[in-house]
Amino acid sequence: MRMIYLDHAAATPVAAKVLEAMQPYFLDEFFNPSAAYLPAKKVNADYEAAKGEIAHAIGAKGNDIVITAGATEANNLAFTSISENAKVLYLKTEHDSVRNPASRFKHEEVEVDQNGRIVINDLKQKIDDDTELVSVALANNELGTIQPLAEIATLIRAIRIERLKNGNTRQLLLHTDASQAMNLLDINVARLGVDLLTLNAAKVYGPKGVGALYVAHDVRLKPLTLGGGQENGLRSGTQNVPGVIGFATALKLAKEHLNGNRKKYAEFRKILLDEVKDYELINKKHALDNFVVLCFDGLDAERLIYLLEDREVYVSTGAACAASKGVRSHVLTAIGLTDSKINGSLRITLGETNTKEQVHEAARIINEVVASEKARIHA
């Protein structure tokens, strides 16, 4: 049996249909979309149509989105919506591409409960007259926890009305990073009630280094890069035409696969929970169906990962970037896990590359590796 890849939150392979859709734009249709001749105008029209499709996938229009070089850039761009002296709030479990730009402003972290869900009352208390932006990921990248965005949006709307009554004209915006959610949830910006929303092609079987930021009509951004004025002046630089064509195709496929995948992952998740032995399930509630976080308290998950790698099973301890730096997960810390439990936690993220046979096999191999580690420790 070839490798069993269980780290789809870190990266997804580009789907064959996505690659096929992109290929002409590397070869025959390579023209700069800003050029004046007809073939370039056709490329520009294809690019704009693909943008329209990306926007449509979240219930928006092509003009409402800015194409970026990935979700990190989209998250950074979202923070240009606020003034220098503003305060920002973000969930304690946010990705570093939100936490780091937020740290340049007056900021506070909003608490989560043991499932990683936002403590709404804490958010309510921390929104003060200077707060301009609240950033809450739709689904967390370590636990898969889905946040009640519509509920948060309702609170924010009520505070906006209150502010206006009191003569406070400061904006109060809601941003969500939907990088991990797009595969598993049917996303609509109006239903969520968000002003800014980040998308990531790399997590939906599209190309890496391509993302988008949805921007509501009344939100004003500042460009991160200056140059030729592409993307309404917000993201100068020659458009990544193949990337955007691939992204649009990937999102179309994600929509088509949504229900089937959810059912499949729920079944696979149950197989893991039934067949893996002696673990504590960390993400018990409100999680995306493809996220399974298992804790083997007393064992070192880093060692388990290397031992699993030897057996060609690829899993992770948390966010791929945090894992490579060897830092303790701020997400698992935020949900109140002890150091020992954090050290023993494995993140398994299922995806379209997986089959039922692979999941049974992975459970068997995990059991063997865990048993061998326990035997080594007790020897």
321 is an active site residue: yes
Is residue 223 within 8 Å of 233, Cβ to Cβ? yes
Residue placing its CB nearer to ligand PLP in the complex, 141 or 147: 141
Q: How far is the CB of 240 from ligand PLP (least distance, A)?
A: 13
Assess 92 for contact with ligand PLP (CB under 6 A).
no
Residue placing its CB nearer to ligand PLP in the complex, 40 or 69: 69
| CA distance readout (Å), 28 to 23, 239, 246, 286 | 9, 16, 16, 46
The DSSP-derived string for 176-232 is EE-TTTTTTS---HHHHT-SEEEEEGGGTTS-TT-EEEEE-TT-----SS-SS-TGG
Structure-block tokens of residue 97: 């591409």
Q: How far is the CB of 169 from ligand PLP (least distance, A)?
A: 31
Per CB under 6 A, the segment of 42-50, 66-74, 148-156, 328-336 that binds ligand PLP is 66-74
Are β-strands 291-295 and 345-349 bridged in parallel, bridged antiparallel, or unpaired? antiparallel
Beta bridge partners of 43: none
Assess 240 for contact with ligand PLP (CB under 6 A).
no
Residue pointed to by tokens 């949006």: 153
Assess 141 for contact with ligand PLP (CB under 6 A).
yes
148: left (phi over 0), alpha (psi -120 to 50) or beta: beta
- The active-site residue, picked from 11, 119, 258, 321, is 321
C-alpha 225: how far from chain center: 23
Per CB under 6 A, the segment of 69-77, 221-229, 243-251, 335-343 that binds ligand PLP is 69-77
User: Which of 22, 54, 57, 70 is the binder for ligand PLP (CB under 6 A)?
Assistant: 70
User: Which of 147, 180, 354, 358 is the binder for ligand PLP (CB under 6 A)?
Assistant: 180
Assess 323 for contact with ligand PLP (CB under 6 A).
no
Residue placing its CB nearer to ligand PLP in the complex, 211 or 344: 211
| CA distance readout (Å), 289 to 84, 283, 285, 311 | 39, 10, 10, 25
User: Which of 18, 43, 54, 72 is the binder for ligand PLP (CB under 6 A)?
Assistant: 72
Q: How far is the CB of 210 from ligand PLP (least distance, A)?
A: 8
User: Which of 43, 71, 212, 313 is the binder for ligand PLP (CB under 6 A)?
Assistant: 71
Q: Which parts of this chain interact with ligand PLP (CB under 6 A)?
A: 70-72, 95, 97, 137, 141, 177, 179-180, 200, 202
